[in-house]
Amino acid sequence: MFKKVLVANRGEIALRVIRACKELGLESVAVHSTADADSLHVKFADQAVCIGPPASKSSYLNVPMIISAAEITGADAIHPGYGFLSENADFAEVVRKCKLTWIGPPPEAMRLMGDKIRARAAMEAAGVPVLPGSVGLHDEISLFEAADRIGLPVILKATAGGGGRGMKIVYDKSKLLEAWAMGRTEAQNAFGNPEMYMERYCQKPRHIEIQVVADKHGHYTHLGERECSIQRRHQKVLEEAPSVALTDEIRQKLQTAAVRAIEAIKYTNVGTLEFLLDTDGSFYFMEMNTRIQVEHPVTELVTGLDLVREQIRIAQGEPLSFDHTIDRRARGHAIELRINAEDPNTFAGSPGKITALHMPGGLGVRVDTHVYAGYVVPPNYDSMIAKVIVHDVDRMAALRRARRCLDEMVIEGIRTNIPFLKRIINNPDFIRGDFDTGFVGRLLAERPAHP
């Protein structure tokens, strides 16, 4: 049993984890860069340690500094949040070698899911649908053989990639070689591994993910889906649960596939299986995220569970806090709006001092944020400054609540994407539930940015 948790992250998720620790009677240690000294996660933790200069590489990715901070403060567990070191299996192993508890999945499961080719193979072996695809493509011959077998269009993805970086879509055989060569260069630069593989390209899919959770007592279960098709350049903008696109039959099949997947790999902790949902109702495994996700509150509001508390309990060796054999349905509808410090037209980051701030509130409204009036948004990190998550009895009611919240919100001194979020939630196609992963791209092509 551990007593003190070091939170190896920043921003709203660090605060989110610290809050869960407090409610469980655990002490918390914040680590922070010099740029984050005034962040709420630093103020609300029991102890705080500065671990380096603003650059992530020197602070939130600096493994020796983070381990030292744990040793100096007597922390006996590490929660990695999302991003940064959260999906780094080597870090998880270092944490364990230092006799600290890793509040995350088994490193072997993290490593498996980090290798997209191995992950595909493991899912296929577990009976989870995957798109027709290839293994690693190491020469021109295997490249063209794979394209001929799979059929155009195809998508080239980095074996060590994920989240859409380094992907190349190829519609024409004459473009295949160049796309592969460019992809290899990008993959080498981004992930330190040039290897690419191929899949049949699914046009106009929805991005549906299934939240999973498993303890160390052999209980594997799911907590339903999240609809994550509203993305801009592979960055989610808005997420909701449940998805309007799923029939009970497809939902059931997705859930069964997700639970089968985590059972097959003996997963523990929380995780997410990402699926592409094709227009004909077929679905395919895309990747698995072996971490708590930004959009986890959407699932918390429709299940009533605290996913970070579950993570901590699981790491302590406790069973799931709930009876996973009953109550499978989402309660009402939840929508998360990601508030970013960015220009709503150009999407360029907009760091600086927040001179005035009013966050929305009232029934069915949750705001997760580390910012306050007078806070200075540093230019060094992700632009997300808050999440507004609304809950109501059904999707239309939740949308009305989301509109009310965006109208209430006041953020002065910096620019935010609030006007862009309003545009999405007032769009007739979005309101009808008629959208796919190309929705935001088409919206912006219609009325482009004004730089």
Binding site for ligand MV4 (CB under 6 A): 131, 155, 163-164, 199-202, 205, 207, 231, 234, 274, 276, 286-287, 437
Specify the residue for token string 């699932």.
299
- By three-state DSSP, how is residue 280 classified? coil
Question: Residue 102 or 283: which CB sits closer to ligand MV4?
Answer: 283
- Residue 11 phi/psi, 5-degree rounding, is 65, -155
Minimal distance in Å, beta carbon 232 to ligand MV4?
A: 9
Minimal distance in Å, beta carbon 363 to ligand MV4?
A: 32
Question: Residue 167 or 315: which CB sits closer to ligand MV4?
Answer: 167
Question: Residue 92 or 202: which CB sits closer to ligand MV4?
Answer: 202
Q: How many CA atoms lie within 13 A of 72 on its CB side?
A: 14
Which tokens belong to 13?
């998720």
Which tokens belong to 316?
């302590």
Question: Residue 65 or 155: which CB sits closer to ligand MV4?
Answer: 155
How far apart are the two ends of the chain, measured CA to CA in Å? Answer: 54
Spell out the residues 6+ positions from residue 92 whose beta carbon is closer than 8 angstroms to its own: 102, 104, 105, 107, 110
Question: Residue 171 or 372: which CB sits closer to ligand MV4?
Answer: 171
Minimal distance in Å, beta carbon 257 to ligand MV4?
A: 16
Selected catalytic residue, list 184, 206, 291, 313: 291
Minimal distance in Å, beta carbon 157 to ligand MV4?
A: 7
Nearest to 286 by CA among 106, 123, 88: 123
Q: 116-125 and 248-264 helices cross at what angle (nearest 10)?
A: 110
The CA distance from 199 to 201, in Å, is 6
Question: Residue 389 or 440: which CB sits closer to ligand MV4?
Answer: 440
The CA distance from 132 to 424, in Å, is 33
350 near 322, Cβ under 8 Å?
no
Minimal distance in Å, beta carbon 441 to ligand MV4?
A: 8
Spell out the residues 6+ positions from residue 191 whose beta carbon is closer than 8 angstroms to its own: 158, 160, 161, 165, 166
The beta strand positions in 242-343, using DSSP E, are 269-277, 283-289, 333-340
Minimal distance in Å, beta carbon 9 to ligand MV4?
A: 22
Residue 291 class from Cβ within 10 Å (0-12 exposed, 13-18 middle, 19+ buried)? Answer: buried
Question: Residue 205 or 242: which CB sits closer to ligand MV4?
Answer: 205
Whether 291 is catalytic is: yes
403 near 422, Cβ under 8 Å?
yes
Minimal distance in Å, beta carbon 133 to ligand MV4?
A: 7
Question: Residue 124 or 412: which CB sits closer to ligand MV4?
Answer: 124
In Å, how far are 7, 85, 214 from 63, measured between CA atoms? Answer: 13, 8, 27
Minimal distance in Å, beta carbon 436 to ligand MV4?
A: 9
Residue 362 class from Cβ within 10 Å (0-12 exposed, 13-18 middle, 19+ buried)? Answer: exposed
Query: Which residues are designated catalytic?
Result: 291
